[in-house]
Structure 1
Amino acid sequence: VAADVAEKFVFPCLTSLHLNDLPELAYFYCEIFTLECPELQVLVVCACPRLQLFQRAPLESENEGNITSINRQPLFSNLQVISLLEILSVHSNHCSVLRSSLQPTEVLNFLKHVQMFFDDNEKPTLPFDILNKAPNLREMNIEWCKSLEIFHTPSLKLSEQLKTLTLSNVSELKFIWSKDSSSWLKTVCEKLYSLNVICCPDLTELFCSPSAVSSFYLKELYIENCHGLEYLFPSSVAKVLMHLEKITVKESQSIKNIIEMEQDVTTSLGVKFERLYSITLDSLSSLEYFYSGNDTLQLPSLTLVNIQQCPKMAVFSRGGIDAKSLRGIHNSVEKSDELIFHNDLNVSVKMAFLLQVYS
């Protein structure tokens, strides 16, 4: 191929491109090229530190005549190639380059899910320019972040549209929502449908003073490997988590209760989760109760409880339980095993506990 003629690569049927753990990958092609992927919807690039993914804005020195080597031509020189992208999973530095390349009028209309990875030594920032150019963004992941600076930006336009947030391996994060916080995280959490928190070692509370907001829209909560948590909610949180449908808690060694009874709060009507239908409690070595209060726990929609490897959990709640829709308790990794069922959920949990002790 002549030096001044670009090689053209066309992948008309390519919908998904994954480049994972390729430390020596520096370029797609060693000469000048163009790339067309008219159907590309999923782009995942992880642990490819030498690869330049997007065309960065030229530096002043380059404008004066110093042109980047063709050997470092980015994979996507023309952003039109990713105009149909729905899922973008990349290191944060790629997002920064993409942000600098986007023209004011360019919009990522199809982008629904962004996943960003961070380095230990970098000063993390969210690419708000990209996020605000994605009017249909519904899901965001922040992973391997060791600084809270990423949460300190007060305003974020995507708060209304974002429905799923995953925080994985985020250090120094002590709470998710607080009435006194000015973080964008506070605003986003009030509108989320699904929250996933994984491997956040410094997390001690999910919601601080939740009664300060009238309602959360949260439907699904997933917690895993958060060893600083001793409980998920105080008992007063039920009235603001009225939409909660599914709770999953796994491998968090310090959790003693899922719902903690507050000493200075009276709940004469008990605690009620109107829509909660599924509870999974797995490998929680300190868990004693789902609810530590003596008043009635009302779970009218609860159909299935999955309890595995919770050696201290002999009963579900210290008080009475209203769970008329319950089909039973599953306490085995084998889905084909029979459910343990009794009209009283506390008795069902006791039966599962005894089976675990004597099996």
Structure 2
Amino acid sequence: MLRRFHNLERLTIFACDSVEEIFDLQALINVEQRLAVTATQLRDVHLLNLPHLKHVWNRDPQGILSFHNLCTVRVLGCPGLRSLFPASVALKLPQLEVLLIAGCGVEEIVAKDEGLEEGPEFLFPKVTDLHLEKLPELKRFYPGIHTSEWPRLKKLGVYDCEKIEIFPSEKKCSHEPSREDHMDIEGQQPLLSFRKV
């Protein structure tokens, strides 16, 4: 299906009780076995009121499929969703401008990939709007030591997300930070962190 809809630019799925996965990559990974990288033209993804959605991507595309054209991702009312992006997708989103997640069961925005080297660097060069709302289970951006950069971020909205630390505490910022300093007891980092210049 992904090959047939290669030129698809906008995907909206609304109020479908039976949807559990959006992109079934298991079959594609088995067939392709990393022979070729396919870039989708998908620019906008809107997922709304999908109560049984468990995965947007059921497997990490592992470089076989690229979503580097994504500009807008809005996910609302998906209480069964635990994470949004696989790590390999989140590492290659150079066009992403808007990320909105609301009313979901998301615990982390990016899921850990066991094959990924430690301390990945997530760069979102065009994101101007990051909005997180009513995410009572959100604990972290990524489960493990990492860095994230949002150089063009203009709007940051975080509402009713009580389990996540948004900025590092003053104690953590009061001395020259190391990666370990930004980790709490449970191995969490704040959503956004700053380096001293």
Which of the residues 165, 176, 190 maps onto 2:22?
176
Change (3 A) 1:155 1:265: closer
**Paired residues for 1:271-290 under 5 Å:** 271-290=122-141
Residue 44 of structure 2 corresponds to which residue in structure 1?
194
The secondary structure found in structure 2 opposite 1:170 is coil
* Superposed displacement of residue 153, structure 1: 10
Alignment partner of 1:165: what SS?
strand
Aligned residues of 2:108 and 2:140 also touching (Cα < 8 A): yes
**Residues 203 and 226 in structure 1, CA contact (< 8 A), matched pair in contact too:** yes
The alignment partner of 1:301 has SS state of: coil
Tell me which of 151, 159, 179 is aligned to 1:300. 151
| TM-aligned CA distance change 1:165 to 1:244, over 3 Å | same
Q: Shift of the alpha carbon at 1:215? A: 4.1
Residue of structure 2 equivalent to 1:80 = none
Tell me which residue corresponds to 2:172. none
Give ranges in structure 1 of 5+ residues lacking alignment: 1-151, 183-188, 321-343, 348-359
| Equivalent residues in 2 for 1:241-320, closer than 5 Å | 241-252=93-104, 254-268=105-119, 270-315=121-166
Shift of 1:287: 0.9
Q: What amino acid sits opposite 2:17 in the alignment? A: S
2:90 aligns with one of 238, 255, 261: 238
Deviation, 1:284, is 0.7
Q: Any unmatched runs of 5+ in structure 2? A: 29-38, 169-177, 180-190
SS of residue paired to 2:47: strand
Q: Partners of 2:96 and 2:118 in 1: how far apart?
A: 19
Identity of aligned residues (%): 23
Given the superposition, is the C-alpha separation of residues 302 and 292 from structure 1 closer, same or farther in structure 2, using an over 3 Å criterion? farther
CA gap 1:172/1:190 in 2 versus in 1, 3 angstroms: farther
| Partner amino acid, structure 1, of 2:89 | V
Q: Provide TM-score, normalisation by structure 1.
A: 0.40
User: Take 2:118 and 2:154, find their aligned partners in 1: how far apart are those partners?
Assistant: 24
Deviation string for 1:290-327 (max 9, x for gaps)?
2333121122222221001111122368x96xxxxxxx
1:195 is paired with a residue whose SS is: strand
Deviation at 1:269, TM superposition (A): 5.0
How many residue pairs are counted as aligned between the two chains? 162
Offset of 1:241 from its aligned partner?
Answer: 2.4
- 308 and 223 in structure 1: CA distance in 2 versus 1, 3 angstrom threshold: same
AA partner of residue 141 (structure 2): F
Q: Which residue of 228, 234, 239 maps to 2:80?
A: 228
Whole-Å separation in 1 of the counterparts to 2:50 and 2:75:
9
Which structure has more helix as a fraction of its residues? 1
Runs of 4+ in 1 over 6 A off after TM superposition: none
Higher relative contact order, chain-length normalized (CA < 8 Å, sep 6+):
2
Root mean square deviation, CA, Å: 2.9
Q: Which has the larger radius of gyration?
A: 1
* CA shift for structure 1 position 272: 1.6
Calculate the TM-score normalised by the size of structure 2. 0.69
Supply the distance in 1 between the matched residues of 2:2 and 2:56 (Cα, whole angstroms).
Answer: 20
How does 1:72-111 map onto structure 2 within 5 Å?
none
Secondary structure of 1:248 counterpart: strand
Aligned residues of 1:288 and 1:315 also touching (Cα < 8 A) = no
Partner of 1:166: 12
Q: 1:168·1:200 contact (CA, 8 Å) conserved in 2?
A: yes
Instruction: Measure how far apart 1:177 and its partner are.
Output: 1.8
Q: Is the 8 A contact 1:289 1:313 kept in 2?
A: yes
Contact 1:291 1:297 in 2 (8 A): no
1:179 shift after superposition: 3.0
The amino acid across from 2:109 in the alignment is: I
